[in-house]
Amino acid sequence: MPPEAGRNRVSPDRRQVNLAEKPETIVMIKSLRQSTLETLGLGSVLSIFKNGRLPVDTTEAVCRVFGGASERGSLVISGANGIVGAGKAMQLGSRLASFGVPVVALDFAGSPDGIGQKFAGLKNTFGTEGAARIMQNIIRLNYDGKNLPADLKNFRPRFLLEAVPEILEIKKAHYAIFRAAFPDIEIRSVTSGFPGAELGVGITHPAFPHEINKVWEVVEKTPSAVTQLFWALGMIPVCVSDHWSFVLDVLFCGLTLAGLRYHLNSNMPFWRIDKYIRKLLGPNPFRAHDAIGAKGANFLTWSCLHHLGKAYGGLFTPPEQLKNTVDGGQNWYPLNHFRPLVNWQLDPLEEQEFNTRILGPLYQMASLMLHENRAHYANMNIIGELCAQFRRGVLAEIRARGADAVIGTVTAYHKLEPQVAKSAWYPRVFDRMDTPEWQQLYVNAEHDGTVGVLTIGRESYNTDVDGELNRAIDWLKSERIQKVILCGDFHFSTQMVGADTSAFFPALKDESKGYEVSYQWSKTARRLNDEFKTSVGCVTGKRCLGGMLELMMHCHYLVAVSDCDLGMPEVTLPVIPGMEGCHWPFRRAHKKDWPRLVKLLLGGRFIKAKEATGWLVDDAGSLENTLKKVWRIAVGEDHGLALRPLNADPISGIPTDAACMAVADDPVTLAAQKAILDNIIASCGVTLNEAIDRQARHSAGFMSGDYCRGGAIGQQYAKTMKV
């Protein structure tokens, strides 16, 4: 929950679980806002660096949930052949196999083989042998719904993940038989709607697609060992409050309802509504239902809305047509032989009404969830992005529009749908939009009085992140912090994939917009170099690419885990790196390493961090060593690394020979390579002060040109925005 919004927090930072062998260091850490890691009982990000290790050791976390190696229990997934059960059997099974935790997949005899269907995906990811090994650890047992199989006890069930149908009585009866047989078993429901108070168990509600989506909405009074185990296994548990349908399903089902209501008012077909919603916000709610499996997904949506409607009134009450889709089980989209023939183009007035009918209820739902303190604001915001395809989280969207505009939209919506105005509308929650909880949805800052840490909780860089990063830097500066670490948040951003290319859409048509993005983002990145005595970029995820790598390389030191992928894939889109990637690394690298940089920029291929040591990163090692090294650099202890100086003068002699270039054979890539090389030569050929403008002009010029418009970004723009 957001604590005392609007005030910076000062708290003793300690790990909530006593896993460490040595006593914790207790230090006073001040933060711009509460870190989301703290909501999991895992302390602050700064403490990770201070302690030189992650707050939870995976093996210990496994032992706490499943017992020690000699008495290892099992995970039971009931409803294991269903969409959720099968997906989670794959996801958890692949992670737990190496710890010797068997996964018991329990379902009715004769239920369709959901697990078997997942094998192909498993094989693609882990190879035939790896997949077989994981499957060997999945034990399939049948039961009749009333009596547990006798063999089950042999596997010492310690944790039940229940994924049975969304019928309260069935679920409760299911828990009862497990508790009778295994009194100490931990139970979590994957329910998409029922609060834990109704079920009598904790909730771990996953998001589609279940075999790969790592987000779980977690409902529990205090963070449990199960939740911390999930985090340690690489999942993204997100704490939410114990209210009907949590956060994801309020947003997802609510958006579906908004679309359905628009259909009922306009007759617009669902496939077309999806396109306009995608243009407006990002998701395709109806397509998503079909992709998940319309019959089951429609029931879940109806069930959520039905219960939400009872609890909150007209805002959520599902229309009869939704029930019909549940009973009929038909897809929302037409069948292939009826692919749509008639286009639906909205005129500006119609589109305005459409936007009101979609955004109005969305804002109103957000007001309800904020009023109920359903989650840390960053949690609430990111769920939409990670689980429901929102281009920008709902709170970020609201923040960008401003309180008055948001309230105006909801008021206009109430005129169109008067029945929803009667309840669940809390406009006062938008009064506090200037507080850090609202202003720092993606970027947080912490410090201990000496060292600050800037954490980015989003995998791709966009204008929201840029604004927040500037505010976070301002805050650290105002706190007189001179040493800073830049890193992910160890929660939402498990990797750093680069710029959010949707931020470039305006630049496709207007060169000045491209310049603005490139120049502003570069200016922000330079602050890491210019405004701190010491700045250290720390890359701990799977990859750090494009714009995020450009941002990181602006730090005085860059340290990464050795098997992390680094790369500049812009050439493949194509777009020109516009956050100073075309000159900054050259100014910090020895001339002999320039061919590698040219190859990195022109080839678009990834390299491991350990291969880039000395010319792109300053050090690469194990996670623990990386954390320790970063801390030593930050506090000024002996770290053994020489600072690579930044050459502010014009530099020349950039290698242009084919030997160091990965020359492409298609004209688009060739053109992009030429444009990138031109930018390298041009921006290196001027002083550091001049380079920011020079490279931004090159980048903007290319973005508004034919190659970029015809490339991946242009296609993405056309698909999304040209409705």
| CB of 320 vs another protein, minimal distance in Å | 9
Is 21 or 338 the residue whose CB approaches another protein more closely? 338
Cβ distance to another protein smaller for residue 269 or 614:
269
Instruction: Report in angstroms how near the CB of residue 303 gets to another protein at its nearest.
Output: 22
Q: Interface mask (CB under 8 A) for another protein, residues 171-200, using x and -?
A: ------------------------------
For residue 269, the minimal CB distance to another protein (Å) is 6
Q: What three-state secondary structure class fits 245?
A: coil
Report the nearest approach of another protein to the CB of residue 204 (Å).
38
Q: Does 416 bind another protein (CB under 8 A)?
A: no
Minimal distance, residue 308 CB to another protein, in Å = 22
Contact call for residues 28 and 10 (beta carbons, < 8 A): yes
What long-range pairs does 591-597 form, CB within 8 A, spacing at least 24?
591/653, 594/653, 594/654, 594/655, 594/660, 595/655, 595/659, 595/660, 596/660
The answer to the question of residue 317 lying near another protein (CB under 8 A) is no
Q: Which residues contact 347 (CB under 8 A, 6 or more apart)?
A: none
* DSSP-assigned states of every residue in 628-679: HHHHHHHHT------------S-------SGGGS---SSHHHHHHHHHHHHH
- How far apart are the C-alpha atoms of 659 and 663, rounded to whole Å? 9
Closest CB to another protein among 100 and 328?
A: 328
> ∠ CA(528), CA(563), CA(41), 5° rounding?
70
Q: Tell me: does residue 715 bind another protein (CB under 8 A).
A: no
Interface with another protein (CB under 8 A), residue from 321, 419, 512, 656: 321
Decide: is 170 part of the binding site for another protein (CB under 8 A): no
Q: What is the DSSP string of 119-185?
A: HHHHHHHHHHHHHHHHHHTEEEEEE-SSS--GGGGGG-EEEEEE---S-HHHHHHHHHHHHHH-TT-
Contact call for residues 707 and 572 (beta carbons, < 8 A): no
N-to-C CA span, the chain: 38
- d(CA 93, CA 204) in angstroms, rounded, equals 16
CA distance 244 to 170: 18
Whichever of 68 and 328 has its CB closer to another protein, that residue is 328
Specify the stretch interacting with another protein by CB under 8 A; choose among 117-125, 144-152, 342-350, 606-614.
342-350
| Minimum distance from residue 270 beta carbon to another protein (Å) | 8
Whole-number minimum distance, CB 454 to another protein, in Å? 43
Q: Which strands form 236-239's sheet, in the order they lie side by side?
A: 138-143, 103-108, 74-78, 157-162, 186-189, 202-206, 215-219, 236-239
Shortest spacing between CB 274 and another protein, in angstroms? 12
- Which range of residues in 186-194, 331-339, 413-421, 494-502 is near another protein by CB under 8 A? 331-339
Q: Closer to another protein by CB, 39 or 331: give it.
A: 331
Residue with tokens 């830049």: 486
Binding mask 253-292 toward another protein (x if CB under 8 A, else -) reads ----------xxxxxxx-----------------------
The pair phi, psi for residue 108, each rounded to 5°, is -65, 145
341 binds another protein (CB under 8 A): yes
Question: Amino acid letter at 294?
Answer: A
Smallest distance from another protein to CB 330, Å = 9
| Torsion from C-alpha of 369, 35, 619, 58, nearest 10 degrees | -80
Question: Would you say 268 or 703 has its CB closer to another protein?
Answer: 268
Chain positions 658 to 687 lying near another protein, rule: CB under 8 A, are none
- Closer residue to another protein (CB): 260 or 507: 260
Range 642-680 burial, b when 16+ CB lie within 10 A, else e: eebeeeeeebeebbeeeebbbebeeebbebbbebbbebb
Of 353 and 678, CB closest to another protein: 353
Q: How far is the CB of 416 from another protein (least distance, A)?
A: 12
Shortest spacing between CB 427 and another protein, in angstroms? 29
Select the residue interacting with another protein from 345, 478, 652, 689 (CB under 8 A).
345
> If binding is defined by CB under 8 A, does position 344 make contact with another protein?
yes
343 near another protein, rule: CB under 8 A: yes
The minimum distance between CB 340 and another protein, in angstroms, equals: 6
- CB 422 to another protein: min, Å: 22
Residue 655 contacts another protein per CB under 8 A: no
Of 354 and 515, nearer to another protein (C-beta) is: 354
Query: Which among 336-344, 358-366, 410-418, 624-632 is the span making contact with another protein, rule CB under 8 A?
Result: 336-344
* 70 vs 267 by CB, closer to another protein: 267
CA distance 228 to 58: 9
CA 680 vs CA 185, 633, 677: distances in Å = 61, 30, 5
What is the residue whose two structure tokens read 């410090």?
A: 447
- Cis peptide upstream of residue 574 (ω within 30 degrees of 0): yes
Q: ∠ CA 189-192-198 to the nearest 5 degrees?
A: 60
Nearest approach in angstroms of CB 396 to another protein is 30
Nearer to another protein, 338 or 638 (CB): 338
Rounded to a whole number of angstroms, the minimum distance from the CB of residue 341 to another protein is 5
Q: Which is nearer to another protein, 330 or 572 (CB)?
A: 330
What phi-psi label fits residue 557: left (phi over 0), alpha (psi between -120 and 50 degrees) or beta?
beta
What's the Cα-to-Cα distance from 568 to each of 102, 240, 615, rounded to whole Å? 40, 36, 15
Distance CA 689, CA 584 (A): 11
CA distances from 121 to 127, 208, 235 (A): 9, 15, 18
Q: Cβ 342 to another protein, closest distance in Å? A: 4
Question: Using CB under 8 A, which of 334, 506, 650, 701 touches another protein?
Answer: 334
Comparing C-alpha atoms, which of 159, 49, 24, 23 is closest to residue 538?
A: 49
Site size with another protein, rule: CB under 8 A: 18
Q: Binding of another protein at residue 338 (CB under 8 A)?
A: yes
Pairing of strands 607-608, 543-545: unpaired
Place of tokens 């993940």: 161
Q: Which two tokens stand for residue 651?
A: 């530099």
**Which of 146, 221, 339, 590 is the binder for another protein (CB under 8 A)?**
339
* Segment interacting with another protein, rule: CB under 8 A, options 335-343, 401-409, 465-473, 662-670: 335-343
Contact positions vs another protein (CB under 8 A)? 263-269, 321, 328, 334, 338-345
